[in-house]
Structure 1
């Protein structure tokens, strides 16, 4: 089991990362809540990981801290929730917001996540209610020096296209992704692709 990676951030295209660890490149999938905290390309990064093995694939998922990984592992224990859906849920909401939705029966917020229907959202609330009662773990930053990541500078031209591609990769339909990014672009003119994604996903956590 690969539990942690420390290496150089080589590529980042939501939801995919490439981490160079002493010459070996690890392909990692991460939720947007982790992407928001990544350093610049070429910088050292530390991720807590979960290796998912199925009959058809082996996938490595990375998280900014142990809390997010713990919640990811809790989510995939729910019937009908796979790793891809768990990443989508963690992309749209911070861990504390997910726990709050469960405690307060906010099914309407959970169904905004792509792939989560009403029955699945209700199942999440029922099955996670007891597991998240004591949701309180120490947060650990993802950088090796445990300092906040530097802001990602604004990009030009293809920011909206990159944001749309990321949302589609998370499970949103192309037309829905385009609508969400267009609305986000009006809120933040000149924003980077990751800032557009953050703005587009913000409506999910506003419950």
Structure 2
């Protein structure tokens, strides 16, 4: 199993990053909360991974630390929650925010995430609260709010950035019209793709 990759970032197309390790390019799907913290193109990154094998595909999911990966692994054990939904959940809120929502039984907060209905939210609360009891209590206590890297001076034109942001939200489970509305409503002049996605996801909650 591939559990960790260290390599140079060749491409960043949210929520996918292409990481070159020893001449091999690995496509890694990452939650946006992790994607925001990646270094710039051409720089080295270390990603903790989870390898998922399906009948029609073999996929790598990546995280900035082992705690985030541990939460992802617990999420996909929940009935009705697959890797795609788990990725969407961890893109919409940080690991600490999710843990807090579950512990406080905030169904209303969880159903704002794409693909999470009331039944799924209730199931997440019931099953994940039990799972948290078996995990280290302070596992996510050191989590911090998302800090975005400074916007590059070579940021793409606003129209391209908005189109890429909409595409990323659709990949995370939002309907095209909803994704477009969220991006347009929260777009700021000069914002890059990652900023647009962050603001749209925050607004959705």
Regarding TM over 0.5, the answer is: yes
- Aligned mates of 2:120, 2:5 — CA distance in 1: 32
- Aligned mates of 1:174, 1:119 — CA distance in 2: 24
- Structure 1 residue 204: Cα displacement: 4.5
2:73 corresponds in structure 1 to 73
User: Does residue 1:196 correspond to 2:196, yes or no?
Assistant: yes
CA RMSD of aligned residues (A): 1.9
Instruction: Answer yes or no: is the 8 Å Cα contact 1:163–1:193 preserved in 2.
Output: yes
Instruction: Answer yes or no: is the 8 Å Cα contact 2:68–2:95 preserved in 1.
Output: yes
Against the structure 1 CA distance between its residues 152 and 64, is the aligned structure 2 distance closer, same or farther, given a 3 Å change threshold? farther
1:160 corresponds in structure 2 to 162
Segments of structure 1 that go 5 or more residues without pairing to the other structure are 141-147
- Structure 1 residue 135: Cα displacement: 4.1
- Aligned mates of 1:11, 1:35 — CA distance in 2: 12
Pairing of 1:128-147 with structure 2 (within 5 A) = 128-133=128-133, 134-137=136-139
1:169 corresponds in structure 2 to 171
- Structure 1 residue 150: Cα displacement: 4.2
Instruction: Answer yes or no: is the 8 Å Cα contact 1:38–1:149 preserved in 2.
Output: no
1:32 corresponds in structure 2 to 32
Pairing of 1:11-160 with structure 2 (within 5 A) = 11-133=11-133, 134-137=136-139, 150-153=149-152, 154-157=155-158, 158-160=160-162
- Structure 1 residue 35: Cα displacement: 0.9
Q: Secondary structure at the match of 1:155?
A: coil
Instruction: Answer yes or no: is the 8 Å Cα contact 1:40–1:152 preserved in 2.
Output: no
Instruction: Answer yes or no: is the 8 Å Cα contact 1:111–1:118 preserved in 2.
Output: yes
Q: Secondary structure at the match of 1:172?
A: coil
Instruction: Answer yes or no: is the 8 Å Cα contact 1:93–1:204 preserved in 2.
Output: no
Against the structure 1 CA distance between its residues 135 and 176, is the aligned structure 2 distance closer, same or farther, given a 3 Å change threshold? farther
- Aligned mates of 2:29, 2:85 — CA distance in 1: 12
What per-residue deviation string (whole Å, max 9, x for no partner) do you get for residues 160-196 of structure 1? 11110110111100100011001111xx322111001
What per-residue deviation string (whole Å, max 9, x for no partner) do you get for residues 37-93 of structure 1? 011100000000000112221110000111110110010010000000000000000
- Structure 1 residue 137: Cα displacement: 2.7
Segments of structure 2 that go 5 or more residues without pairing to the other structure are none
Query: How many aligned positions are there?
Result: 197
Instruction: Answer yes or no: is the 8 Å Cα contact 2:148–2:195 preserved in 1.
Output: no
Against the structure 1 CA distance between its residues 190 and 152, is the aligned structure 2 distance closer, same or farther, given a 3 Å change threshold? closer
Normalization by structure 1: what TM-score? 0.89
User: Does residue 1:182 correspond to 2:184, yes or no?
Assistant: yes
